[in-house]
Amino acid sequence: MPMKRSPSRSSCGCGSIISLCLAIFFLYGNIHTSNPKCSIQDFYLPALNNSLNSTDNATLYFQLKLRNPNILKGIYYDPVNVTVFNKFNTTTHIRNYVVPDFYQGFRKTAEKDGSVNFNEGAVSRAAFDNRTAVFRVDLVTAVRFKSFVWKTKSKRHQIMVGADVEVNDQGTKVNQKNVKLSQAPLSLRFCCVVAVLFNFLVFILLNF
């Protein structure tokens, strides 16, 4: 939708208040940039499901959730590289799955299914005596933000997040809630806050 024309100045004070609010909204939406929020919704290893009485199926199935929290910015994702390995043996049996590049509109959420094939031995070794295990999931990609107002693309921002996923003796993640992949670059966030404050100040000075 195109930017709305603000009502004519003469009508009343409301007009200028509304246009001020709109200006703040667009300014904020344009300047403030948040990285996508990444989490793991589903995580299932049939080989670790005790009820199956079989460890033959050494595939790991997972579902990623990628959310664009920005109010006025779309996100172009480069291919998303998801790496999974045994948390306690980080040198061998590293598997990865690549989600093809895609575009995500603002405030949209994408759910991406993925799977990796371990071998039976690797899964068995990853499990403790009580048949639980801990896997490490790392996600690496780069994103470009598309400004809704100016139709421009930002330069690439590197995203590197990860989490430990505990798996129970039914082969699914222990945590019922989504497992958040984190390691947000603090410096970027800090810069954004400073930029927003600075621009807001300039805006105020120019208008009054």
Ligand X SMILES: *[C@@H]1O[C@H](CO)[C@@H](O)[C@H](O)[C@H]1NC(C)=O
Give the whole-angstrom CA distance, residue 164 versus residue 201: 42
Task: Report, in Å, the least distance between residue 73 CB and ligand X.
Answer: 25
Q: Does 35 bind ligand X (CB under 6 A)?
A: no
Q: Does 49 bind ligand X (CB under 6 A)?
A: yes
Cβ-based nearer residue to ligand X, 142 or 196: 142
Q: Does 130 bind ligand X (CB under 6 A)?
A: yes
Give the whole-angstrom CA distance, residue 155 versus residue 36: 15
Q: Does 25 bind ligand X (CB under 6 A)?
A: no
Give the whole-angstrom CA distance, residue 151 versus residue 134: 43
Give the whole-angstrom CA distance, residue 164 versus residue 138: 9
Q: Which stretch binds ligand X (CB under 6 A): 1-9, 143-151, 168-176, 200-208?
A: 168-176
Q: Which of 139, 172, 179, 181 binds ligand X (CB under 6 A)?
A: 172
Place of tokens 């575009």: 103
Residue 23 buriedness (CB in 10 A; 0-12 / 13-18 / 19+):
middle
Q: Does 114 bind ligand X (CB under 6 A)?
A: no
Question: Are 65 and 204 a contacting pair, CB within 8 Å?
Answer: no
Q: Which stretch binds ligand X (CB under 6 A): 147-155, 169-177, 178-186, 193-201?
A: 169-177
Residue 137 buriedness (CB in 10 A; 0-12 / 13-18 / 19+):
buried
Q: Does 141 bind ligand X (CB under 6 A)?
A: no
Q: Does 132 bind ligand X (CB under 6 A)?
A: yes
Q: Does 175 bind ligand X (CB under 6 A)?
A: no
Q: Does 92 bind ligand X (CB under 6 A)?
A: yes
Structure tokens at 157: 């921002």
Cβ-based nearer residue to ligand X, 51 or 207: 51
Q: Does 115 bind ligand X (CB under 6 A)?
A: no
